[in-house]
Structure 1
């Protein structure tokens, strides 16, 4: 998994390493030299060599500026022509500027920097204008140069993060857009949070010897998804592979029922029971779906219910049923709308690792009685609040999809997918996918991250405006490829012993 840390954790690790260096009689500046060496290596790789190339370093008086300027000094020794432009009124980092000038580099003012960029005489911009302490946005010289870089298509390699973004946030501000970002020790949260992550380009983490605590964010990768997917063994059968029930859809929204069932059927569950009011629509397309009542290992509620005054009662019954059966419960869409009325309800409900809520930002705002803007400004904080309030795992859907477990500090981020998936019906399919994985034995957090990642990867591998039902039908091929790849770790889909209790 990709890991990312908050700024305060990174600063503490940096201070600890510098103190350790000083205690051993080595200069604390060695840490900056490690960063500069990594930057110079990345720049040379990006340029495909040194001699004859031209780099414009944008730097301030802080640590990021120092990293960039010391990297510039190293590049000069490799035959790169390096110029540096100060982006703040405090000028350049003193030690870094001294090293750059001593190596034969020179400084330029804003006007000359703009002229070089507009004339195409800069092969790469090394952006060290702001660092992890930036508050968001650009002013003055940095703003002017970001605009010129964007207009001219200049290639930008960012130090830590593109200047103008905020290290602990996925929000976008006026900023540089990087082709590549080199960061140190660990990713910053911004590298995993959209929409800002899209401005970071390819992110490379350089090891500079930091000792870090447990991560704040974990970004799923394809290998993590492959390892999480349940795979049947030789003794498995339809019950041990998992039975998922869906009480979804209505006369007004029968399509939501069909879409959710499509997601469940094509993810690999052993049996799908459809328990809602749109059975004719579902079975006309999917004759393998069972409509008879029976026990399930996971229950999906809410997609396409519409305005339903009976929602709290249906939810209360689902709580009691899943608690008694030991099965998992997923609440989506209109079931979420009924949930606030039951906050104080004494009806037993599944444990947090068996109860999954799948809101988008608007639904999460209603769960918390807050404005949607508040949720979009701090999605991690809002998801954590909901997980605590409702005693459930929360999958917050959106450009970045976050999985929050109550009482657990680390937050998982699903694999990113293309913006094409932001369309009607995608959430219905996702509910079915996650329900299938819950029935296959995954705890709620893993089912949420794997389900969201699976849908995103299907969309990424079949780009364009694919409707959600088409992407659902692509899932078996994707699951087969992931779980049969050489070296793939396989997770058993339940056991015959567990499955026996779910028999006919």
Structure 2
């Protein structure tokens, strides 16, 4: 599992460690790891042109010391001082001693344009807001430079490390070398988009067991997925109910059932007006047209995909005492007070537009501050919330670390993909997973299935559902 920590937590861990180490040791560890990552990226260091954009903080010092190491290996290194009065003196002296050169901002654009590698040490993890002054122009030049690989020191300058927001101009990196631990902004869009590949350098920090953000890996998901026992039957494995679809949107029901059948539960009960379409595609489904109350026993419900204006099914499902996944029209039709008052788990799965409607804000506000939005939704509705997007976020009603998932592909932005996800996650709920785990594991598998189904080409939602078993096997075989 990748765990990300806030600036405050990282700063405290750094202070504790520095109190036990000789002065400058921590910066030298960071510089050594940074220089090694740059060397790996360059392939051959000797003769390469490296430009260090050195700001006033410790990130500037890390970049200067790393530049000194590259200079000793034969690179031509030039440091650009963005704030000459506050540049890190020790790093500057080390660079000069190693044969590197130092210049001011004047004329730096031409150097960046000809560089093989640009080291972004402009702003550290304490920076707030976008870039300012000369840094804006240099970031733009670096992004356009034809040959330069841009390496960010700890994080791309201009992004908000704790929230993942980008409030202005920021450096777009090909590689971010971060120290000690991951930071939330490196894992959450829109900031994640600016980070490129992220490489973690261990500098010996001692951190709490629980951070601000968690990103599950194959082994973590494999440990969560249900496996039938010798005595299992279809009912003991869990039965998921799906109340979805309408005369106008029968496909939503078919796709939600498709995801549910591949999600680990032993049986799927479908309730709604699209029963003929569902049974024609999936004859193993238990179909009813008598409403959720008369469908038979289930261990979890999925309600809302393609439901149109049928509030009755949503009301019936929410009145029950089993976990409920609310998606699509179900989010719009559900009574907020009923959701807040439920004793059984509720898992809401909005995309950014639906989240904006639930919060009463503009969609752009949610997209710019996804981490804040998912936390606010979970707190306001006292529910677990899965906020869909390029990085899917899952926040629990009781607070704690937010789960982040980035296994998907942009090809998943296709009609019906969310219906498949709802069915898959609902099935995991019925199999007994807590809402946070069901949402996290389901998003992980759904993203992997999307990658496998697309393989670099367009896909349909039915392709995603069909690829879930391959994703499941891949996770469990790792």
Query: Equivalent residue for 2:152?
Result: 158
CA–CA distance in 1 between the matches of 2:85 and 2:302? 58
8 Å CA contact retained: 1:88, 1:141: no
> Shift in Å at residue 253 of structure 1?
1.3
- Corresponding residue for 1:302? 304
- For residues 33 and 63 of structure 1, what CA distance do their matches in structure 2 show? 11
| Greater relative contact order (CA < 8 Å, ≥ 6 in sequence) | 1
Closer/same/farther in 2, CA of residues 35 and 344 from structure 1, 3 Å limit:
closer
Among 329, 353, 360, the residue aligned to 2:351: 360
CA deviation after TM superposition for structure 1 residue 412, in Å: 0.5
Equivalent residue number for residue 493 of structure 1: none
Q: Distance in 2 between matches of 1:336 and 1:359?
A: 7
Q: In structure 2, what is the equivalent of residue 496 of structure 1?
A: none
Check the 8 A contact 1:414/1:450 in 2, yes or no. Answer: no
- Note the C-alpha offset of 1:66: 0.6
SS where residue 240 of structure 2 aligns?
strand
In 1, distance between residues paired with 2:27 and 2:172? 24
Q: Which runs of 5+ in 1 are unaligned?
A: 489-504
Q: Deviations over 1:367-420 (max 9, x none)?
A: 233333333333323322322332221111112211111223211112331122
Q: How many residues align?
A: 467
Q: Find the aligned partners of 1:450 and 1:300 in 2 and give their Cα distance.
A: 16
When residues 8 and 328 of structure 1 are mapped into structure 2, their CA distance, relative to the original with a 3 A threshold, is same
Tell me the residue number matched to 2:394. Answer: 403
In the alignment, structure 1 residue 193 sits paired with structure 2 residue 184: no
Q: 2: distance between equivalents of 1:10 and 1:291?
A: 53
Query: What are the Cα deviations for residues 321-366 of structure 1, in whole angstroms up to 9, with x where unaligned?
Result: 3x1xxx32111112211334534886xx343xx3211112222233
C-alpha distance after superposition, 1:294-335 (max 9, x if no partner): 111111111111123xx2x533422333x1xxx321111122
Q: Normalising by the residue count of structure 2, what TM-score does the alignment of the two structures yield? A: 0.92
CA drift of 1:12 comes to 1.9
Query: Counterpart of 2:10?
Result: 10
Structure 1 position 89, deviation (Å)? 5.8
Q: Is the 8 A contact 2:55 2:87 kept in 1?
A: yes
1:452-463 → structure 2 map (5 Å cutoff): 452-461=443-452, 462=454, 463=456
User: How far 1:54 sits from its partner (Å)?
Assistant: 2.5
Contact kept, 8 Å, 1:343 with 1:390, in 2: the verdict is no
2:236 aligned residue (234, 240, 252): 240
Q: Which moved more, 1:332-341 or 1:444-453?
A: 332-341
Matched with 2:261 is 265
* Residue 134 of structure 2: aligned partner: 141
* Distance (Å, rounded) in 2 between the aligned partners of 1:344 and 1:147: 47
Alignment CA distance shift 1:228-1:370 (3 Å): same
Q: Hey, what does 1:63 align to over in structure 2?
A: 58
Once residues 400 and 143 of structure 1 are traced to their aligned partners in structure 2, the CA distance between those partners, rounded to angstroms, is 27
Residue 413 of structure 2 corresponds to 422
Residue of structure 2 aligned with 1:252, choices 227, 231, 248: 248
Q: Corresponding residue for 1:499?
A: none
Q: What corresponds to 2:165 in structure 1?
A: 171
1:132 matched to 2:99: no
- Look up the SS of the partner of 1:84 in the other structure: strand
Q: Distance in 1 between matches of 2:392 and 2:340?
A: 29
Task: From the superposition, tell whether residues 117 and 379 of structure 1 become closer, same or farther in structure 2 (CA, over 3 Å).
Answer: closer
Q: Is the 8 A contact 1:267 1:479 kept in 2?
A: no
Give the match's secondary structure for 1:88.
coil
Contact 2:309–2:333 (Cα < 8 Å) also in 1:
no
* 1:178, distance to aligned residue in structure 2 (A): 1.6
Does 1:98 pair with 2:89? no
Task: Please state whether the residue corresponding to 1:181 is helix, strand or coil.
Answer: strand
SS in 2 for 1:176: coil
2:429 equivalent to 1:443: no
Answering whether residue 115 of structure 2 is matched by residue 116 of structure 1, we say no
The ranges of structure 1 where at least 4 consecutive aligned residues each deviate by more than 4 angstroms after the TM superposition are 343-346
Q: Which residue of 1 aligns with 2:292?
A: none
Counterparts in 2 of 1:341 and 1:16: CA distance versus 1, 3 Å: closer
Greater shift, 83-92 or 97-106, is seen at 83-92
Following superposition, the deviation at residue 438 of structure 1 comes to: 0.9
SS at match of 1:96: helix
Q: How does 1:42-81 map to 2 (within 5 A)?
A: 42-81=37-76
> Post-superposition shift, 1:217?
0.3
Corresponding position of 2:319: 320
C-alpha change, 1:344 and 1:78, in structure 2 (3 Å) is closer
TM-score by length of 1: 0.87
Q: Distance in 1 between matches of 2:132 and 2:266?
A: 58
Is 2:328 the partner of 1:333?
A: yes
Counterpart of 1:286 (choices 282, 303, 309) is 282
**1:371 aligned residue (362, 366, 382):** 362
Deviation at 1:134, TM superposition (A): 2.2
Contact in 2 for aligned 1:360/1:396 (Cα 8 Å) = yes
Distance 1:53 1:434, change over 3 A: same
